[in-house]
Amino acid sequence: MKWISNFYQKQYEWWNTLTSKNTEELQDELVEKMEQFMDQPSKKILELGGGNGQFAVTAAKHGYDVTVIELISECVEHTTKLAKKHHVESNLRAIQGDFFEVELKEKFDVICYWDGFGVGTDGDQKVLLQRISEEWLKPNGTTLIDIYTPWYWAKTAGEEMTIEGISRKYDFDAIECRMLDTWWKTDEPTTKVSQSLRCYSPADLNLLINELPLQLQHCEPSGAMDYEKWKYQTKVPLGQAMSYMAKLKLD
């Protein structure tokens, strides 16, 4: 998984040059979505792969105590600055590190992993899910994970786009069932970096957690991009969705 740090470093660098992208916009709708799928009042949240910190800061503004683990140091710095801007630094802790390795001494009511699950092999996913179930999640807690669907990304292979001098192309590895996402500066094709994320149907996910003390309780479909009309549909059936949010509970 040597590509991980390099890809996300470049993604952060290039994403922040796009004037059309607001890296400080709060994510109230995502917090409301989390609250919709919680089974009980909750206080402590763990976010894995927090990116620029927009969800973590929003959740902190809603009164939650948030711990976020993020690999890229610049993203952690951005999260810290955004927390200070919104005066929530007292109930937000941003940790720079690899969540396969970071040690935490506490357990959480809710664990969230938005838009990024699938890094590494099936074995890597099992290690992460085992850490969630055995180390981090409270007995009555809830885990919410965005998971990419194989059918959408197989169909999307070959789609390419350019936004403000940054190009992006999707592909699909049908053997390994992986979404491939390549970025580069349009005028510098040699700068290409790629990420590779394992896609799972709900049936695949159930096989993945079969030997773990986790139970898949719900799959909430996301949206889908219509590339012919260049329009994003925010809500589509699971069989058309680019991903779904899996709700996992302890057995």
Alpha-carbon span 194 to 91, nearest angstrom: 34
Sign of CA dihedral 15, 18, 20, 22: positive
Residue 232: how many CB atoms within 10 A of its CB?
11
Residue 55: how many CB atoms within 10 A of its CB?
24
Residue 1: its pLDDT value, please? 62
- Pick the closest to residue 1 from 108, 98, 126, 104 (CA basis): 98
User: At residue 28, what are phi and psi to the nearest 5 degrees?
Assistant: -60, -40
With contact defined as beta carbons under 8 Å apart, do 114 and 59 qualify?
A: no
With contact defined as beta carbons under 8 Å apart, do 179 and 146 qualify?
A: no
Residue 3: its pLDDT value, please? 80
Relative to beta strand 44-48, strand 65-70 is: parallel
Q: pLDDT tens digits for the chain (251 residues)? A: 678 999 999 999 998 888 778 889 999 999 999 999 999 889 999 999 999 999 999 999 999 999 999 999 999 999 999 999 999 999 999 999 999 999 999 999 999 999 999 999 999 999 999 999 999 999 999 999 999 999 999 999 999 999 999 999 999 999 999 999 999 999 999 999 999 999 999 999 999 999 999 999 999 999 999 999 999 999 999 999 999 999 999 99
Q: What residue ranges define each of the domains in the chain, with the CATH number in brackets?
A: 19-148+198-250 (3.40.50.150)
